[in-house]
Each structure stands twice: as structure tokens, then as C-alpha cells.
Amino acid sequence: MQHWDPVALECLAAIVESGGFEKAAQRLHVTQSAVSQRLRALEEQVGSVLVVRSRPLRPTRAGQLLLKHAQQLRLLRADLARDMQELAPHAAGSSAEASMAVAVNADSIATWALDAFTPLVRDGLPLEVITDDQDFTQEWLRSGAVLGCVTTLGQAIQGCQVLPLGAMRYVAVAAPDYAARHLPHGLQAHNFHQVPFLCFNRKDDMQAEFVARLLGLSRVVLQSLYLPNSEAQVRAVEAGWGVGVLPELLVRDRLTRGRLVDVAPGTMLSIDLYWHCWNLDSGLLRQLTQALQAGAKSTLEDNHS
């Protein structure tokens, strides 16, 4: 069985996560030459290039596999450190290197996931949250960069377990004066293409899906404005940028107070969310999974409702 040097693996992870050799050296408190030597030794052992020296720097497929292995070793060390701390509370030790990276869609962070994470972080969990579109967070898990993700994908990724979290409900909203000027009778087939829609990024097609379902169309093309932050999108819609298809949880209070109006009354888009994580026997991973399940259960709709 091949033995991989944990120091070299951590070096590879530092290079990929830091985005370069210089920052990796600073993080590991070694020289840049030492970082290059460790990576070169690991590449010679593997017999393959592990990092593409591009901008941005990225791991090769072999590099992704070893990065995932490095992340799993971190998780096991973090489990051991926590267990040892319980046995010897005054023992010296640090879990700073054992960051637990997860990929979560921005709407979940803005509505329910932050509250789910809070008790764990207060208890010392070294969490790193990576944000992406909910249809693409699983790619971070496939690459080995994170140990779990919240995604719309319901099918289990190889080597991982998948658990349903619930459904996020979306509504189409606009500022009252904007709606009165541009959509006096709401979103309709003759006017939807005349107003811009706020999108997270160019991968985000939820707005087109909402309009297509609302109007019974197979495909629509929208004007788009891109703003990769859920709370900022709400503020932009309030400021009259255009229409937002936003989580009902996030805009409920503004709708009640009349700061926003529903431009497609009676229509909601329901998006099922799932938690994928490595299939490992880890106490920390179980805690994280249980926290997300509890947070989602108290906030999201049932997947089958």
C-alpha cells in the first residue's frame, strides 16, 4: 500500500488553498524553496504533475485525489485532538490546521445555515465556508476541496452520503414604485423581457426557470444583472435595480411591511436542498451534519410538501 508523506500532502493542500507557492510558504512557516521541494518530491512519488501552474493555480485530477486525502487526514486529526482534549483538558494543542471546509449556496447562508453553524463555531469548530451557486456546490466536493456541500443534487456522489434538508421557496419581488411603473399588472408574457432580473452569477438560471414555469414557456431569455450576494440582491431590488427571485424567508418581512411587492402573486418556486458529505466515521462530521439537519428542519419546508 502506498504511503503518502503527510507533510507533503499538507504542503499540496496549502498551495491549492492559498493559491500559490509564496502564500503557502507563509502559511506553513517555511521557505518558498521548501514548498517547491516538497511538492516536487510528492509529484515524483506519484509519477504525475499535481498542480497546474496557471492563474488561478489549480490541481490536476491526481492533485484533487491527494487533496481530498489531505482533507480527510485533517478531519481525522481534528477528531483525535478533540477526543484527547476531553481526556486531558489542559493538554496543549491546536486545531488551527484542521479547518473544515464546506460549500454552501449563498441563499442558505443568508437564511438558515449561519444559525446552524453558530453553536459549532462558538465551540471551536475551525470552519471555512465556500459560497457558490446551489447547482454547482457539489463540484467543490468532487474536487476534494471541501468535506461537504449543500446542493440541489439528490443523487449521492461516489464515496459520500446524501441527506435531504428541505425545500427553499422563492418568490419574485420588486420595489413598489418600480413595480407600479414597469409591471403594473405583475410579470406577464408581454413584459418579462423588458425588466432586468438580479442573478448570483452567470451560472444562475433560477430566474429563467421561475419565469418559464410562471408563464408556461419551455425556455425564456432574460435581461440579467449580476450580484453574488443574497442580502445585496435584496437591497438592490429595494433600490429599484429590477426584479429579484429571492428566498421567501429572506424577503418575508419586507413584503409584510410593503418595502417589496410580489410581482407574481400566488407563485412560488420550490428548490429541494440536500447535504452531501464524505462517508467517514467522524465525530466532527456527525456534529456538522446533525447541526445542518436541525437548522434546516426548523426553517425549510419539507421536501415533499
End-of-domain residue from the set 94, 111, 136? 94
Give the CATH number, domain containing residue 263: 3.40.190.10
Q: Is residue 265 part of a domain?
A: yes
**What pLDDT is attached to residue 72?**
82
Q: Is residue 230 part of a domain?
A: yes
Give the CATH number, domain containing residue 10: 1.10.10.10
**What pLDDT is attached to residue 124?**
83
Residues forming a β-bridge with 93: none
The 10 Å Cβ neighbour count of residue 110 is 20
The set of residues, in sequence order, having a beta carbon less than 8 Å from that of 278 and lying 6+ positions away, is 72, 75, 147, 148, 159, 160, 161, 285
Query: Which parts of the chain register pLDDT below 50?
Result: 92-97
Computed on alpha carbons and rounded to an integer, the radius of gyration of the chain in Å comes to 22
Q: Is residue 293 part of a domain?
A: no
The residue count for the chain: 305
Q: Is residue 238 part of a domain?
A: yes
**What pLDDT is attached to residue 91?**
52
End-of-domain residue from the set 65, 94, 123? 94
- 172 with 267, same domain: the answer is yes
Grid cell in block for residue 272:
429541494
**What pLDDT is attached to residue 96?**
43
**What pLDDT is attached to residue 280?**
84
Q: Is residue 220 part of a domain?
A: yes
Q: Which amino acid is at 168?
A: M
**What pLDDT is attached to residue 143?**
82
Where in the sequence is the domain holding 43, given as residue range(s)?
1-94
pLDDT digits (tens, 9 = 90+) for 247-303: 999 999 999 999 999 999 999 999 999 999 988 888 888 999 999 999 999 999 986
End-of-domain residue from the set 94, 127, 146? 94
**What pLDDT is attached to residue 24?**
87
- 172 with 83, same domain: the answer is no
**What pLDDT is attached to residue 94?**
46
Counting the structural domains of the chain, the total is 2
Grid cell in block for residue 73:
487526514
From residue 21, give the alpha-carbon distance in Å to each of 57, 71, 125, 229.
Answer: 10, 19, 27, 30
Grid cell in block for residue 67:
487533496
- 172 with 90, same domain: the answer is no
Task: State the SS3 of 21-48.
Answer: HHHHHHHHCCCHHHHHHHHHHHHHHHCC
Q: Is residue 108 part of a domain?
A: no
Tell me the whole-structure pTM to 2 decimals. Answer: 0.78
Q: Is residue 158 part of a domain?
A: no
Q: Are 142 and 157 in contact (CB under 8 A)?
A: yes
Q: Is residue 287 part of a domain?
A: no
